Amino acid sequence: MKNDRSKGTVCVTGGAGFIGSHVADAHLAAGRRVLIIDNLSGGKRENVPEGAELHVLDIRSEEAADLVRNAGVEILVHHAAQMDVRRSVEDPVFDAEVNILGSLNLAEAARRGGVRQIIFASTGGAIYGEQDYFPADENHPARPVSPYGVSKLSFERYLFYYYVTYGLNATCLRYANVYGERQNPHGEAGVVAIFLNRLLSGQAPTINGEGLQTRDYVHVSDVVRANLAAVGRPGFNIYNVGTGIETSVVDLYKEIARALGTDLQAQHGAAKQGEQQRSVVDGGLGRRELDLPQPIPLSEGLARTAAWFRERAERPVAAAAAK
């Protein structure tokens, strides 16, 4: 679809990453001009959709602020972050520099540059901490137990300040455990990508502890739908983006193995110290107020994700055979 700049300019930070690139795709398909800010520390150039304008910048930089302030941006979709929970524990100062000060750098530029709305990629599991009830709705107490969760909650509070003080509309989307095509299987990766990558390499994945810890796994396509539905939402809003369904790591592995058609058994390693045992969010408010559909079933999302990972794993083999 040809890009129609009359539909507005969107700036997606972290737009070369897993989730951000899918969001950028969707805004381009909607006919918007899309600017991407990404320092490529975790994102990849190959993820940047054709038609988007990539600016290799750090969100803490004056150059990034200048772009947001002066490029006619109407909607700032903020996904760039220090996203490694373990690193946030080891170096909370760095986490705050990126996730709080970097985000504030953009927020100040946004309010000075006339941006109408900020859509912020927040976190569901890390903000609520150990839950009092399941699934957690948006009224559940926010008790983050990692610097990463603290930094995400902090910027949500700053966005409320910017709305009250300057009238800058803001929507915070608290994601559950997002998985899907383009997810990085290395570094601070999601367990779905790690398991798929290992299985396609013929290696048995390792499950930490008994694998009974649960998470809410939401496919990236549902996250994209929430982002698009939030566009133009007035006021200050917080929405969970999840399925409301708990899945244990053991059951997740069974579903992934089924999607790949393998009977390779997973290994069990030592449990992670301090790992949250249960995390699941209620996305009903977003479905009601943003008119979102029911999230796609885990089996369907895993089948799509497994097909994408398999295709990429087979591509080098096919290329070698063609020589």
List, by residue number, the catalytic residues: 148
Q: H-helix or E-strand containing 175? A: strand 169-175
Q: Which residues of 216-225 are buried (b: 16+ CB within 10 A; e: fewer)?
A: bbbbbbbbbb
Amino acid identity for residue 196 in this structure: L
How far apart are the C-alpha atoms of 141 and 136, rounded to whole Å? 9
Do the beta carbons of residue 205 and residue 195 sit within 8 Å? yes
Structure tokens at 98: 């990126």
> Phi and psi for 319 in degrees, rounded to 5?
-65, -40
Sequence-ordered list of residues with C-beta below 8 angstroms from that of 28, at least 6 positions apart, any chain:
1, 3, 34, 49, 51, 52
